[in-house]
Chains A and B, each alone.
Chain A
Amino acid sequence: ETGVTQTPRHLVMGMTNKKSLKCEQHLGHNAMYWYKQSAKKPLELMFVYNFKEQTENNSVPSRFSPECPNSSHLFLHLHTLQPEDSALYLCASSPFGQGNNNSPLHFGNGTRLTVT
């Protein structure tokens, strides 16, 4: 149990579908992150939320839309994705954002997304 739970674990969707990934953390942290992990590439930071406010959007296409209703929950809404968007999407949390603090990231086990 990592303290960060992601659902679903696996998702297959067509290019015209709309789906959402969910992340929940039970650690009392104030910062939450979405990372994308593709084969043979380093983790790519997508979005950062600090105290529910988005502090980073790393030039992510608009077909990915994050939502952070409170400090414990983070969503990633997906629509009209491309096959190259297939990857492992990882959620993480930390007590505070990295810009102010050196606290480690606590990751969930990810959602394996396949776009057909």
Chain B
Amino acid sequence: SQKIEQNSEALNIQEGKTATLTCNYTNYSPAYLQWYRQDPGRGPVFLLLIRENEKEKRKERLKVTFDTTLKQSLFHITASQPADSATYLCALPSGGGADGLTFGKGTHLIIQP
């Protein structure tokens, strides 16, 4: 089964800087990878999906890269704001034709004013 590693410690970033979060996976390379945002007491909210044949995907201040050689995805938030503070989760298909996604533990991002 797929294993996912994300920075388990909180990431503190100064407002206005770029925040970069890392997602590493083991085993097979997935056909796609998804990123979610989760706020306290709420369910995760989908942000971006990137496919294995895409190197980079952008949405407003968000950018995701996907390197199948390194088995890694990077998630960037440019011009970060305190409202971007949340836990960000990386998710991959569970594999073997199974339904459902496998999630990482998430990285808690704190943007300091």
* Known A-B contacts A102-B32, A102-B51; A109 and B42 likewise in contact (beta carbons under 8 Å): yes
Task: List residues 84-116 of chain A with CB under 8 A from any CB of chain B.
Answer: 90, 92, 97-99, 102, 104-110, 112
- Partner of A41 from the list B99, B101, B105 (CB cut-off 8 Å) is B105
- Partner of B101 from the list A98, A109, A110 (CB cut-off 8 Å) is A98
- A60 contacts the other chain (Cβ, under 8 Å)? no
How far is A48 from B102 in the complex, measured between Cα atoms in Å? 13
Contact code string A55-97 (vs B, CB < 8 Å = 1, else 0): 1101000000000000000000000000000000010100001
Contact code string A33-49 (vs B, CB < 8 Å = 1, else 0): 10100001111010010
A21 CB contacts on chain B under 8 angstroms? none
Q: Looking at B42, B89, B106, which has the most chain A CB atoms within 10 Å of its CB? A: B42
Contact code string B31-66 (vs A, CB < 8 Å = 1, else 0): 110101000011111100101000000000000000
How far is A84 from B98 in the complex, measured between Cα atoms in Å? 27
A50 CB contacts on chain B under 8 angstroms? 99
Q: Looking at B4, B46, B101, which has the most chain A CB atoms within 10 Å of its CB? A: B101
- Partner of A90 from the list B43, B46, B49, B51 (CB cut-off 8 Å) is B43
A41 CB contacts on chain B under 8 angstroms? 105
Q: How many residues of B contact A (CB 8 A)?
A: 27
* Known A-B contacts A102-B49, A102-B51, A104-B34; A33 and B43 likewise in contact (beta carbons under 8 Å): no
How far is A2 from B42 in the complex, measured between Cα atoms in Å? 10
- B81 contacts the other chain (Cβ, under 8 Å)? no
- B113 contacts the other chain (Cβ, under 8 Å)? no
B89 CB contacts on chain A under 8 angstroms? 42-43
CB distance from A113 to the nearest CB of B (A): 14
How far is A98 from B98 in the complex, measured between Cα atoms in Å? 7
How far is A83 from B98 in the complex, measured between Cα atoms in Å? 30
Closest 7 CB pairs of A and B: A107-B43, A104-B46, A97-B99, A48-B99, A43-B103, A45-B100, A102-B32
Give 6 new A-B contacts, CB below 8 A, not counting A35-B103, A104-B49. A41-B105, A43-B89, A98-B94, A98-B101, A102-B34, A102-B51
